[in-house]
Protein backbone atom coordinates (compact mmCIF):
# COMPACT_ATOMS: atom_id res chain seq x y z
CA UNK A 1 0.00 0.00 0.00
CA UNK A 2 1.41 3.39 -0.99
CA UNK A 3 1.83 6.35 1.31
CA UNK A 4 1.70 10.04 0.47
CA UNK A 5 3.41 12.68 2.61
CA UNK A 6 3.21 16.40 1.82
CA UNK A 7 5.86 18.74 3.22
CA UNK A 8 4.88 22.38 2.87
CA UNK A 9 6.06 25.76 4.12
CA UNK A 10 7.66 29.03 3.09
CA UNK A 11 10.87 29.50 1.15
CA UNK A 12 13.96 28.38 3.05
CA UNK A 13 11.85 26.86 5.82
CA UNK A 14 13.73 23.55 5.66
CA UNK A 15 11.22 21.61 3.56
CA UNK A 16 13.64 19.87 1.20
CA UNK A 17 16.16 19.00 3.91
CA UNK A 18 13.42 17.53 6.07
CA UNK A 19 12.00 15.55 3.14
CA UNK A 20 15.44 14.17 2.26
CA UNK A 21 16.15 13.15 5.88
CA UNK A 22 12.75 11.49 6.08
CA UNK A 23 13.37 9.57 2.85
CA UNK A 24 16.76 8.38 4.10
CA UNK A 25 15.15 7.20 7.34
CA UNK A 26 12.79 5.04 5.26
CA UNK A 27 15.19 3.77 2.59
CA UNK A 28 18.91 3.33 2.00
CA UNK A 29 18.47 4.17 -1.68
CA UNK A 30 15.66 6.69 -2.16
CA UNK A 31 14.64 8.35 -5.40
CA UNK A 32 14.81 12.10 -5.94
CA UNK A 33 12.38 13.36 -8.57
CA UNK A 34 13.34 16.87 -9.67
CA UNK A 35 10.62 18.82 -11.45
CA UNK A 36 12.60 21.99 -12.11
CA UNK A 37 13.06 23.42 -15.55
CA UNK A 38 16.62 24.76 -15.89
CA UNK A 39 16.12 28.40 -16.91
CA UNK A 40 19.70 29.71 -16.64
CA UNK A 41 23.29 28.91 -15.66
CA UNK A 42 22.87 30.03 -12.03
CA UNK A 43 19.98 27.63 -11.56
CA UNK A 44 21.90 24.84 -13.33
CA UNK A 45 24.73 25.29 -10.80
CA UNK A 46 22.25 25.28 -7.91
CA UNK A 47 20.81 21.97 -9.15
CA UNK A 48 24.30 20.51 -9.51
CA UNK A 49 25.18 21.46 -5.90
CA UNK A 50 21.97 19.87 -4.64
CA UNK A 51 22.67 16.65 -6.55
CA UNK A 52 26.22 16.44 -5.21
CA UNK A 53 25.00 17.13 -1.67
CA UNK A 54 22.57 14.21 -1.74
CA UNK A 55 25.23 11.58 -2.38
CA UNK A 56 25.49 8.46 -4.49
CA UNK A 57 22.82 6.44 -2.70
CA UNK A 58 20.10 8.56 -4.33
CA UNK A 59 18.59 7.79 -7.72
CA UNK A 60 18.05 11.14 -9.43
CA UNK A 61 15.24 11.48 -11.97
CA UNK A 62 14.50 14.73 -13.77
CA UNK A 63 10.95 15.09 -15.04
CA UNK A 64 9.38 18.49 -15.57
CA UNK A 65 5.77 17.40 -16.03
CA UNK A 66 4.86 13.78 -16.65
CA UNK A 67 5.42 12.13 -13.27
CA UNK A 68 2.92 9.43 -14.18
CA UNK A 69 5.48 7.97 -16.59
CA UNK A 70 7.98 7.25 -13.79
CA UNK A 71 7.96 3.78 -12.23
CA UNK A 72 9.05 3.89 -8.60
CA UNK A 73 7.16 0.82 -7.39
CA UNK A 74 8.33 -0.29 -3.93
CA UNK A 75 10.61 2.74 -3.58
CA UNK A 76 10.68 5.88 -1.45
CA UNK A 77 10.70 9.07 -3.49
CA UNK A 78 11.05 12.78 -2.77
CA UNK A 79 9.32 14.92 -5.38
CA UNK A 80 10.80 18.40 -5.23
CA UNK A 81 8.84 20.42 -5.88
CA UNK A 82 5.15 20.89 -6.61
CA UNK A 83 5.65 24.64 -7.07
CA UNK A 84 8.06 24.21 -9.98
CA UNK A 85 6.01 21.33 -11.35
CA UNK A 86 2.90 23.55 -11.50
CA UNK A 87 5.00 26.32 -13.05
CA UNK A 88 5.90 24.01 -15.93
CA UNK A 89 2.25 23.30 -16.74
CA UNK A 90 1.17 26.90 -16.32
CA UNK A 91 4.04 28.21 -18.46
CA UNK A 92 2.90 25.91 -21.26
CA UNK A 93 -0.87 26.48 -21.03
CA UNK A 94 -1.33 29.94 -19.45
CA UNK A 95 -4.61 28.45 -18.21
CA UNK A 96 -5.26 27.73 -14.53
CA UNK A 97 -8.07 25.20 -14.99
CA UNK A 98 -6.26 23.24 -17.70
CA UNK A 99 -3.02 23.27 -15.70
CA UNK A 100 -4.79 22.08 -12.54
CA UNK A 101 -6.47 19.22 -14.39
CA UNK A 102 -3.14 18.14 -15.87
CA UNK A 103 -1.51 18.27 -12.41
CA UNK A 104 -4.32 16.21 -10.86
CA UNK A 105 -4.19 13.64 -13.67
CA UNK A 106 -0.41 13.19 -13.43
CA UNK A 107 -0.52 13.13 -9.62
CA UNK A 108 -3.21 10.43 -9.58
CA UNK A 109 -1.39 8.33 -12.19
CA UNK A 110 1.95 8.66 -10.36
CA UNK A 111 0.59 7.91 -6.88
CA UNK A 112 -1.37 4.86 -8.04
CA UNK A 113 1.89 2.92 -7.63
CA UNK A 114 2.76 1.04 -4.46
CA UNK A 115 5.45 3.39 -3.20
CA UNK A 116 6.13 6.04 -0.56
CA UNK A 117 5.83 9.57 -1.95
CA UNK A 118 7.20 12.63 -0.18
CA UNK A 119 6.05 15.77 -2.00
CA UNK A 120 7.62 19.17 -1.28
CA UNK A 121 5.71 22.38 -1.96
CA UNK A 122 5.61 26.06 -1.07
CA UNK A 123 2.91 28.05 0.69
CA UNK A 124 3.11 31.14 -1.51
CA UNK A 125 -0.33 32.50 -0.70
CA UNK A 126 0.46 33.40 2.90
CA UNK A 127 2.18 36.67 2.08
CA UNK A 128 -0.75 38.72 0.83
CA UNK A 129 -2.21 39.39 -2.58
CA UNK A 130 0.20 40.28 -5.37
CA UNK A 131 -0.35 43.30 -7.58
CA UNK A 132 0.82 41.15 -10.51
CA UNK A 133 -2.02 39.33 -12.32
CA UNK A 134 0.13 36.38 -13.42
CA UNK A 135 1.38 35.91 -9.86
CA UNK A 136 -2.18 36.01 -8.50
CA UNK A 137 -3.26 33.41 -11.05
CA UNK A 138 -0.32 31.16 -10.25
CA UNK A 139 -0.92 31.53 -6.50
CA UNK A 140 -4.46 30.27 -7.10
CA UNK A 141 -3.21 27.34 -9.17
CA UNK A 142 -0.62 26.28 -6.60
CA UNK A 143 -3.05 26.74 -3.72
CA UNK A 144 -5.60 24.46 -5.39
CA UNK A 145 -2.94 21.91 -6.34
CA UNK A 146 -1.65 21.90 -2.74
CA UNK A 147 -5.19 21.43 -1.43
CA UNK A 148 -5.75 18.50 -3.79
CA UNK A 149 -2.50 16.80 -2.81
CA UNK A 150 -3.09 17.46 0.90
CA UNK A 151 -6.54 15.88 0.61
CA UNK A 152 -4.94 12.71 -0.78
CA UNK A 153 -1.99 12.72 1.64
CA UNK A 154 -1.69 10.42 4.62
CA UNK A 155 0.45 13.01 6.38
CA UNK A 156 0.96 16.76 5.97
CA UNK A 157 3.96 18.47 7.57
CA UNK A 158 4.24 22.26 7.81
CA UNK A 159 7.82 23.51 8.13
CA UNK A 160 8.36 26.68 10.13
CA UNK A 161 11.95 27.91 10.59
CA UNK A 162 13.31 24.40 10.20
CA UNK A 163 10.81 22.88 12.63
CA UNK A 164 8.36 20.25 11.33
CA UNK A 165 4.79 20.63 12.55
CA UNK A 166 2.43 17.74 11.84
CA UNK A 167 -0.84 19.06 10.41
CA UNK A 168 -2.42 15.78 9.32
CB 24 within 8 A of CB 30: yes
* H or E element, residue 119: strand 116-120
Other CB atoms within 10 Å distance of the CB of residue 122: 19
Catalytic residue among 27, 38, 47, 50: 50
5 forms beta bridges with 118, 155
Distances (CA, A) of 20 to 15, 25, 50, 112, 129: 9, 9, 11, 22, 31
The secondary structure element, H or E, covering residue 35 is none
Active-site residue flag, 50: yes
Residue positions annotated with a catalytic role: 50
Amino acid sequence: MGKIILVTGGQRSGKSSYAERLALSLSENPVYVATAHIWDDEFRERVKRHQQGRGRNWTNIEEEKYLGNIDITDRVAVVDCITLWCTNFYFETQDIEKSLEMVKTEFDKFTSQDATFIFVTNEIGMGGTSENKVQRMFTDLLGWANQYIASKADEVILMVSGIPMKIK
